[in-house]
Amino acid sequence: AQSVTQLGSHVSVSEGALVLLRCNYSSSVPPYLFWYVQYPNQGLQLLLKYTSAATLVKGINGFEAEFKKSETSFHLTKPSAHMSDAAEYFCAVSVPKTQGGSEKLVFGKGTKLTVNP
């Protein structure tokens, strides 16, 4: 079964510091991976997605993620944290249904990012 594991439920960084949020996946087929961000009392917003076109994926707000098959990882990074990056981040894998053309997203437990001034 396809799944994702996010290491660290809470990450705290200083403003201007590197942001690194970890995600490892488990999949028997080439995975389609996503990172979403959720601000308080809001829905989820897509940051970036990996669909096998390129291993380094650039997203919105300066975030990027690198797909490493050998490590089964898809970690999210941002060179310099901003106060507005404080939110919860979710890694997800797309799981297709074997029949019916449907799919669902399976999410990690999330990582809450705190940015200190």
Partner 1 sequence: KAGVTQTPRYLIKTRGQQVTLSCSPISGHRSVSWYQQTPGQGLQFLFEYFSETQRNKGNFPGRFSGRQFSNSRSEMNVSTLELGDSALYLCASSLPGIHTEAFFGQGTRLTVV
Which stretches of the chain bind partner 1, using CB under 8 A? 32, 36, 41-46, 49, 51, 90, 92, 94, 96-97, 100-110
Select 32 or 63, whichever has its Cβ closest to partner 1.
32
Q: Which is nearer to partner 1, 17 or 95 (CB)?
A: 95
Q: How far is the CB of 95 from partner 1 (least distance, A)?
A: 9
Burial status of residue 101 (CB atoms within 10 A of its CB: 0-12, 13-18, 19 or more): exposed
Least CB distance from residue 6 to partner 1, whole Å? 10
| Least gap, CB of 96 to partner 1 (angstroms) | 6
Nearer to partner 1, 101 or 117 (CB): 101
CB 33 to partner 1: min, Å: 10
Q: What is the DSSP string of 22-86?
A: EEEEE-SS---EEEEEE-TT--EEEEEEE-SS-SEEE-GGG-EEEEETTTTEEEEEESS--GGG-
From residue 62, alpha-carbon distances to 46, 48, 66, 77 in Å are 13, 10, 14, 9
Closer by beta carbon to partner 1, 43 or else 117: 43
